Amino acid sequence: MKLTEEEKEYFRTEDDEIFNYISAYTEEGIIQSLFNDDELVRVTHAFLKKIVVKVAENRGIEFDPEDKYDLDEVLRNMIHMDEEDKELFEGFDAAFYKDENALKTYLENKVKDASPEDVEHISLFFGFLTDDFRKYLVDKTTYIRNNIDRIYEECGDEREEKEDSGISFSDEDWEDWEDTEERDYDEDSGPVIIPIEDDDIVWDDDGWEDDEFDSPTQEEPKPEPIKDEQIVDLIKYFNTYSDIAKARENGVMMSRVLRDISDEKKVESFLSNPDLKKDLENFVDHDKKKHMYLFHGTQALDQADSILKQGFGMMQNDLTSTTYQEFSIRDIILYHRGFGGEIGRDAIVVIDRPIEDRKLKEIVQPKPKDKKIDFSQSGLQGLNGKANFYVDTKYVIGYVNKRDKKVILNPRYYDYDKLSEKMGRKIDNHLHEDDDAR
């Protein structure tokens, strides 16, 4: 078996060394097949198929080299739905994954009149279904990676045997070795015996003399023989892979579509109150030549309240490590992160960084030892530590209470009067009741 020029290019080898290490040279293409069906995967699978087909021929197996799986059956076996899911997603067929239009039509009808919460549930569910493709492909690629070298051994190709040690010697190496031998060998007395002062054990050319140091070698269990049906199954897999990859891509594409639909419904629902929509527009509107707005998601509403009262605590003197620049209203509504999506889920704090003489004002300062800052670590600046720096509360504009859908202004904000006037009314703010900071 010889490599084609295309195979030499993709496997990055000019000789037949690949046939001693097939799994190593084809590993990149095998792993890549978990993610997409690109040219490297195509070349790798075609090369591996040639090996498997040759073994099938050598074994005398009756097979069709172009035979494929029944894709509908593969998809239905691959994608698992319990009885509750089947009831919830009535009419769904895993075979929809092979037809982008059929999958899209089903899902669009499913979410057309659904609430934002239901759409999010459907989006997550189909995201998990798409994961079933990955599990299936991981099993297949792992089997191929672990067994292709054994399968190739049955091809009967003649190739150069490697020395057990893998070491070759040049003429100069041999001359150096011979010089060493002349120093360590005496014609009258024979080979040098090197004594080792430990329990009178002596090493000579016959090996260890003390049998108590002999240890039995444990033989690794022999792997199970590769059956004829497994050889045929691999041929079918290589022939069907592109169809499976296309079905997977359809699923990934629809997961993205569902996320987009879910996001749109969340935004639409959040802005259904026209007064809130107007408040948000006025709240985030600013002259970007004079101000840069920074946005920080908190884990709870009381943390946002503390920032308005005390200032914004930071471990590092680096605003970019814990804030985002210039969110849109959509960004504010949709932003959340963390293991449970808790950061930014309930509140987004907004900070004003003025621009003076075309330069951003330095608003971060070292925190005095006696200044109280209720600091909550969120992971962006680290999970262990304390507030070493802070932004004075006069630069904190306020926050969006996402849980209760309202805007909270900070009365300590240096431009509070102008902002509240622009918004057309004083925002109901419980901070006024218990604090006379102004």
- CA dist 435 and 309 (Å) reads 9
**Residue-number span of the structural domain to which 202 is assigned:** 181-211
Do 285 and 189 lie in a common domain?
no
* Mean pLDDT over the full length of the chain: 80
* 40 shares a domain with 8: yes
CA-CA distance, 244 to 241, in Å (whole number)? 5
Q: Work out the pLDDT band at 240, boundaries 50, 70, 90.
A: very high
> Is the domain of 23 the same as that of 71?
yes
Q: Is residue 313, in this structure, part of any structural domain at all?
A: yes
Q: Are residues 201 and 128 in the same domain?
A: no
State percent of the chain over pLDDT 70.
Answer: 79
Residue 175: inside a domain, yes or no? no
**Residues 6 or more apart in contact with residue 1 via CB below 8 angstroms:** 19, 50, 51, 54, 155, 157
How many domains, in total, are found in the chain?
3
What pTM was estimated for this model as a whole? 0.64
- Asked if residue 222 belongs to a domain, the reply is no
Task: Give Cα 198 distance to the centre of its chain.
Answer: 55
Residue 335, pLDDT score:
86
Beta strands, E only, 299-384: 312-314, 324-325, 347-356, 359-360, 364-366
Is the pLDDT score of 394 beyond 50? yes
Tokens found for residue 257: 């579509």
**DSSP symbols for 185-228:** EETTTEE--EE--STT-EEETTEES-GGG--PPPPPPPPPPPPH
- Beta-strand ranges (E) seen in 255-375 are 291-298, 312-314, 324-325, 347-356, 359-360, 364-366
Q: How far apart are CA 41 and CA 349, in angstroms?
A: 47
Say if residue 234 is in the same domain as residue 358: no
Asked if residue 109 is part of any domain, the answer here is yes
Same domain, yes or no: 200 and 290:
no
Structure tokens at 360: 């951003």
Specify the pLDDT at position 208.
Answer: 45
CB neighbour burial string for 204-224, b if at least 16 within 10 angstroms, e if fewer: eeeeeeeeeeeeeeeeeeeee
Return the structure tokens found at 375: 């600091």
- Would 256 be classed as within a structural domain? yes
Q: Which of 94-98, 232-236, 316-320, 373-377 is the least confident region? A: 373-377
**Mean pLDDT value across residues 211-215:** 50
Whether residue 263 sits in one domain with residue 151: yes
Does residue 281 sit in the same domain as residue 409? yes
In tens, the pLDDT along 344-357 reads: 888 999 999 999 98
Residues 233 and 196 in one domain: no
Same domain flag for 185 and 254: no
pLDDT for res 165 = 39
389, 356: one domain: yes
Residues with Cβ < 8 Å from 363, sequence gap 6 or more? 319, 351, 353, 354, 391, 392, 395
365-387 per-position pLDDT tens digit? 998 888 877 766 554 444 455 77
Q: Up-side HSE of residue 68: CA atoms within 13 Å toward CB?
A: 11
Domain assignment present for residue 218? The answer is no
CB of 352 closer than 8 Å to CB of 291: yes
Q: How many CA atoms lie within 13 A of 334 on its CB side?
A: 17
Q: Helix, strand, or coil here: 335?
A: coil
Summarize pLDDT for 409-429 with one digit per residue, the tens.
999 999 998 888 888 755 455
On whether both 309 and 387 belong to a single domain, the answer is: yes
Q: Which residue has the higher pLDDT, 16 or 397?
A: 397
Residue 302 lies in a domain: yes
Q: Report yes or no on 194 lying in a domain.
A: yes
